[in-house]
Amino acid sequence: LVNVVESLNRGRRALRQSMQRRGAGYVMALTVVVLLVGGAGIYAFEGTRSGGSLPSYADAVYFTLMLLTTIGSEFWPATAEGKLLTVLLGIYAIAVFGYVTATLATYFVGRDAESEEGQVAGVADLAALRTELAALRDELRALRTELQ
């Protein structure tokens, strides 16, 4: 059990460091801002005061959150402004999803490159290949000189 917990902690720390290097904190902060501002925009365009069907700001934030998680909700905007904002929020959600996917893939590919058994070439493998390539070039030069 101790080994499992220790392994999970190492993995969590490595993932956190990888996310910090790639600016995940900024993306998360920006996503919170987009969530709150997007909710305000949706509420302004689709709230009951505007003739829409969203009774409160909390419902608008809930709709925006469901849209950003690409789950969707039972509400869809009726106004042109609300539809445009929904499209922009959807594009942002896809971009963030791509960012998170790329960050996780980079983390796992990097771990695979560090492993001796990994199929991805790491820094040590590339250094060995460069050394071998230099040796082959020297051998080729020697053969050319011999043939002339």
Q: Are residues 84 and 144 in the same domain?
A: no
pLDDT at 21: 62
pLDDT at 120: 54
Q: Are residues 100 and 125 in the same domain?
A: no
Q: Are residues 87 and 16 in the same domain?
A: yes
Domain count, the chain: 2
Q: Are residues 135 and 72 in the same domain?
A: no
Q: Are residues 99 and 142 in the same domain?
A: no
Residue 8's domain is classified under what CATH number? Answer: 1.10.287.70
Q: Are residues 102 and 127 in the same domain?
A: no
Q: How confident is the model at residue 18 (pLDDT cuts 50, 70, 90)?
A: low
What is the average pLDDT across 42-57? 85
Q: Are residues 86 and 39 in the same domain?
A: yes
Give the domain range for residue 129.
121-148
User: From CA 93, how far away is CA 65, in angstroms rounded?
Assistant: 10
What is the average pLDDT across 62-75? 85
Query: What per-residue string of b and e applies to 104-133 under the rule 16 or more CB within 10 Å gives b?
Result: eeebeeebebeeeeeeeebeeeeeeeeeee
**pLDDT of 73-129, one tens digit each?**
778 888 899 999 999 999 999 999 998 888 888 777 766 555 555 555 566 677 788
Q: Are residues 54 and 84 in the same domain?
A: yes
Q: Are residues 92 and 128 in the same domain?
A: no
Q: Are residues 20 and 82 in the same domain?
A: yes
